[in-house]
Amino acid sequence: MGQYSKQIFSWTLVLLWMGLIFYMSAQPATQSQEMSKGVVEVVVQTVERVAPSLAEQLDIRYLHHIVRKNAHFIIYLILGVLVINALNVSVVEGWKGIVFALSICILYAISDEVHQLFVPGRSGEVRDVIIDSAGSSVGIGVYLGLTNVMEKVRARGENGGIF
């Protein structure tokens, strides 16, 4: 795959992921709550099988809140990975790439919360932008850490070393 093809593919993944985020944010509150309710039910059923005495102590409302906030974090962690990768493939590297990637993710998180102001039953929350930004930051950091390790492994392999 040529450099230009890699760029197109990488940015297409970013746009598709942003589209998925937009789609999920466009769901009315009732629909969104049903989705997270399903995840909570799976967690509760799993805890009931593994530790039945612990299941009785679960606060379902709190668990539902945790599931929803973790979803924000994970979805934006993935966005952070996709954006920093697309920038690196487009040869925007180093601090410039990090700042651009984080800026893109934060601006998208803000626009996502503004979008939710127009969806029935949903609201835009600064707290969610902070969670999204933290997820993006971790995703960018994980990507940079893994690429650094992979480069070191490659360099050692080229020099005849095992690791």
List the chain domain ranges.
Answer: 3-36+69-158
Q: What b-and-e string marks burial along 43-71, b requiring 16 or more CB atoms within 10 Å of the CB?
A: beeebeeeeeeeeeeeeeeebbeebbeeb
CA-nearest of 85, 66, 80 to 140 is 80
pLDDT: which is higher, 36 or 109: 109
State what percent of residues in the chain have pLDDT above 70.
Answer: 97
pLDDT for residue 14: 98
Write the DSSP symbol of residue 58: -
In this predicted structure, the answer to whether residue 160 has a pLDDT above a threshold of 70 is no
CA-nearest of 117, 154, 110, 116 to 133 is 110
In this predicted structure, the answer to whether residue 74 has a pLDDT above a threshold of 80 is yes
pLDDT for residue 37: 83
In this predicted structure, the answer to whether residue 145 has a pLDDT above a threshold of 90 is yes
In this predicted structure, the answer to whether residue 38 has a pLDDT above a threshold of 90 is no
Reported confidence tier of residue 88, pLDDT bands at 50, 70, 90: very high
